[in-house]
A and B are shown apart, each in its own frame.
Chain A
């Protein structure tokens, strides 16, 4: 497949995921479409060098995360410091659990949590939320599957506390 065909397939299969990913990297709605376009341009350009060494999904997510990280590094001035999962994984972070929250508020809270994270932890939690397992997350991010599994475990604990629900997700 050529560059254009690969891009069309990626945009068709992962277009919605790219929108969600952009929302996790750019809180301001008016700038989000710039990031989405930047990701799509990076994707299209990247397919000139796609050689099938990894799956299309891994390629798409790597390019999207790398483009978004590059965007954050350029934009990030005078903002609040980013934190790690370990920083969030403490009972004293001031977030109170609620038995039920409506979906809009829940999504808002989830986005706020993700947007506070450092790039690597943000990549892991986004991959997890997109339904990926530890091996796939390792391929995209570059950390070992074991390390990814540990991070997923921590993410589940954080999300459980924040959303007050039982964990269940397959890895």
Chain B
């Protein structure tokens, strides 16, 4: 390909920009590769901090609450939080670039990453919200039940606001993630359209 550059030619401007290529020995490359793996794994730590902070709170509830039902609910929430933390750092963790990525063209690689993110967002009810539901329901029942007078079944309605707030939070989280997943799907469709042209 013959190129004749002019002084304000974007290609010439681009290729002649001052850069200093990094030089790393093979030992440096290997050690940085190992370090980089650790950084990738720790990226979700900040996002799991909220879950980590909640665990001692519910352990305290389990310690001080006397009813077996409320203690079981608190322990179930702790178990759910641990499962969510695990899922966030394994299933939903940012991945390192796969080794075979040189075999994949850019559209295929980008599409695969978008599909992975889309599927995670679509299944958030299963891996993020689902593990917390049994504990929250049991704990709520345990807290509310002693306040229900036997001859006043209408007292159960007093539990309604808390349940509505919890349900609304679940619904909002699912809806928000579905919208994000739909946006990713549109990007995937756009990539498919361009790749098919």
The residues of A that contact B191 with a CB separation of less than 8 Å are: 120
- Considering the complex, give the chain B residue whose CB is closest to the CB of A18: B21
Stretch from B7-15, B53-61, B62-70, B157-165 contacting the other chain: B7-15
Contact of A46 among B3, B10, B102 (CB under 8 A): B102
Given A15-B22, A62-B101, A63-B101: A69 touches B10 (CB 8 Å cut-off): no
Q: Please count how many residues in chain A sit with their CB below 8 Å of the partner chain's CB atoms.
A: 66
A163 touches B10 (CB 8 A): yes
A70 touches B13 (CB 8 A): no
Question: Which residues of chain A from 130 to 163 have a CB within 8 Å of any chain B CB?
Answer: 130-131, 133, 139-144, 146-147, 159, 163
B110 touches A170 (CB 8 A): no
- Considering the complex, give the chain A residue whose CB is closest to the CB of B8: A165
B102 touches A59 (CB 8 A): yes
The residues of A that contact B113 with a CB separation of less than 8 Å are: 69-70, 73
A7 interfacial by beta-carbon distance below 8 Å: yes
Contact of B36 among A41, A63, A70, A130 (CB under 8 A): A41
A131 touches B97 (CB 8 A): no
Contact of B10 among A37, A42, A110, A146 (CB under 8 A): A110
Cα–Cα, bound, A46→B103 (Å): 9
Given A73-B113, A129-B11, A142-B107: A41 touches B102 (CB 8 Å cut-off): no
The residues of A that contact B104 with a CB separation of less than 8 Å are: 62, 66
Given A45-B33, A67-B97: A37 touches B22 (CB 8 Å cut-off): yes
The residues of A that contact B97 with a CB separation of less than 8 Å are: 38, 42, 45-46, 63, 66-67, 70
B106 touches A129 (CB 8 A): no
Query: Would you list 13 pairs from A and B whose C-beta atoms are within 8 A, ordered by A residue?
Result: A19-B21, A41-B33, A44-B33, A46-B101, A47-B102, A50-B102, A66-B104, A69-B113, A73-B113, A106-B10, A107-B13, A107-B14, A120-B110
Given contacts A66-B106, A106-B8, 14 further A-B contacts (CB under 8 A): A33-B22, A40-B29, A42-B96, A67-B101, A69-B106, A69-B113, A74-B43, A100-B8, A110-B13, A128-B11, A140-B106, A142-B106, A143-B197, A146-B197
Interface residues of A (CB under 8 A from B): 4, 7-8, 11, 15-16, 18-20, 23, 33, 36-38, 40-42, 44-50, 53-54, 59-60, 62-63, 65-67, 69-70, 73-74, 100-101, 103, 106-107, 110, 119-120, 123, 128-131, 133, 139-144, 146-147, 159, 163, 165, 168-171
